[in-house]
A and B are shown apart, each in its own frame.
Chain A
Amino acid sequence: MIITKRKQLDHILEKTKGSRVFIAGCSECATLSHTGGEKEVLEMKDYLEKNGVTVTGWAVLDPACHLPNTKRIFREKLVEDTDKILVLACGNGVQTVRDALPDKEVIAGLDSLFLGEIIHLSEFERRCNLCGECIVDEFNGICPIARCPKHMLNGPCGGSQNGRCEVNPEMECVWDRIYKRMIENGGRDQLRKIIPPKDWSKSLEMVIR
């Protein structure tokens, strides 16, 4: 799932003040991220109105990244008297809304952080960088591209200490986890294998038809 985080309210207010604003959320990832579901859309409406911004309407797109669905919802919802669409969805959702409404300005209300796992209701962890060629099975189902800040493919860097990452000691060293899982599963030989440089050209795909 695409994990998003709401931008600072001050920033959103700065971008919307003096405008007539329509708020668009998303029924999928942003709903599960608790950043762009119906609840958060209505909270945003309340916040903006309390701060003098005119909110012309709202919708939870189903999902925001689905161009035909988004176009259909905007045919049903009146947005003519609106200057700006505040999108509480991922970066894809913002672009799809802009594509659906060519004469409206879009404001991104969320930052798109990563493709992640829902650990608990409100706890998310990065799992995938969409690098184009999946090599997770080389590492017993743990991705060092997404989960190691240095993309180490051949073991932990020298900054790994007591299972913690040098970048942020609050973070686990994913190589510590890979190492332990592989040892448990008899994968010592696999750990000794030199993994060759990654083929990043696979991440250049732009279109699938």
Chain B
Amino acid sequence: MNHISNLHRVLSEKHFAVTAEIGPPKGSDKNIIIHKGEMLKGYADAYNITDNQTAVVRMSSLAGSTLLLKLGLDPIMQLTCRDRNRIALQSDILGASAIGIRNILLLTGDHQSMGNHPQTMGVYDIDSIQLIQIARNMRDEGIFQNGEEILRGKPDIFIGAVANPFSTPLEARIIRLEKKIEAGADFIQTQSVFNLNRFQEWVDTIRSLGLDKKVHILAGVTPLKSIKMMQRMRFHVPGVDIPDEIANRIENARDPKEEGYNIAIEILEELKKINGIHGVHITALFWEDIIPKLVKEVNLYPRP
């Protein structure tokens, strides 16, 4: 069978997948991406390059993904609706495919008011679900959003989307996931999991609807690096649920960094056991060098 990307292959062969996030630098220094890519090579199946995450200007995801390709890594290019209209989004999908980027993760994006240019105008011409449908139609039907035919070269892409199991109400989240699947999502990366009970509840609902058979679900994991970082995620990152128990463990630990690592190991071990979860997506914010150790310790190394 022909696989679109390494990630597609790993998931199709029913391995438990590992993806890792690489945040591009606030600058044009390509060595940052190259260094992180080399450090993480072999420890994940594909690598997300974020698209100006939290609405802070950084090197573009298209450029970052291209740098990873040169290292022989399988990038997951993130693309948000915040900064581009449907013309630019479709153009970037074509461009990414032309370069050889095979995984594209489509999302609405964090609102610009949270970033470092809060005075900018957000685009939001279309939302993530519409973008997923557009990308799928470009690939499978060979048509643009306006119905016109793609003249030369349909994009060859594996389509990703995100889900937040911790937003409320749960039923609204499930309906949105169903819509993303219907629109054409091939794989889903979730918000980082800290609250395993609520995550389990979300997975149970998904499984009862058979959604885990229709899409590959990768659960998000973030090792907490410090008390400050935990608090920032807990109180300032939208949609993150860090329960009291986890917060207390970090706050009361002799070495919060070590405790953060231990918690991440426990969460990874639990996630590996959950039926319906097809892999993990590790986002180690400003702590990417911990990923090899984490992956080894939970026996997800070597990668298939």
Contacts and interface: CB of A to CB of B under 8 A. Distances in A.
Interface of A: 149-163, 166-168, 175-176, 179, 183, 188, 191-192, 194-198, 200
A164 to B, nearest CB: 10
A194 B113 CA distance: 27
A47 B135 CA distance: 58
Contacts, number: 95
B6 interface: no
B167 A159 contact: yes
A95 to B, nearest CB: 22
A81 B145 CA distance: 58
A44 B164 CA distance: 50
B129 A158 contact: no
B237 to A, nearest CB: 9
A185 to B, nearest CB: 15
Interface string B121-132: 010111111100
Contact of A160 (B110, B130, B168): B168
Contact of B125 (A149, A194, A200): A200
A160 B108 CA distance: 13
Interface in B152-185: 162-164, 166-169, 171-172, 175-176, 178-179, 182-183
Contacts of B239: 158-161, 166
Given A158-B191, A161-B168, A194-B133, A149 B111 contact: yes
B86 interface: yes
Given A149-B111, A159-B239, A154 B168 contact: no
Contacts of A197: 86, 125-126, 130, 134, 145
B167 A156 contact: yes
B238 interface: yes
Contacts of B168: 160-163, 176
Nearest to A168: B113
A145 to B, nearest CB: 9
B238 A166 contact: yes
Given A155-B176, A197-B145, A161 B126 contact: no
A166 B141 CA distance: 35
A179 B179 contact: no
Contacts of B175: 155, 188, 191-192
Given A149-B111, A194-B133, A197-B125, 17 more contacts: A149-B113, A153-B130, A154-B130, A155-B175, A156-B172, A158-B162, A158-B167, A159-B110, A161-B238, A166-B114, A166-B238, A176-B168, A176-B172, A194-B183, A196-B130, A196-B133, A198-B125
B43 to A, nearest CB: 27
Nearest to B133: A194
Contacts of B169: 176, 179
A29 to B, nearest CB: 24
Given A161-B239, A162-B168, A192-B178, A152 B108 contact: yes
Nearest to A153: B127
Contacts of A200: 125
Of the listed residues B109, B179, B183, the one surrounded by the most CB atoms of chain A closer than 10 A to its CB is B179
Contacts of A152: 108, 127
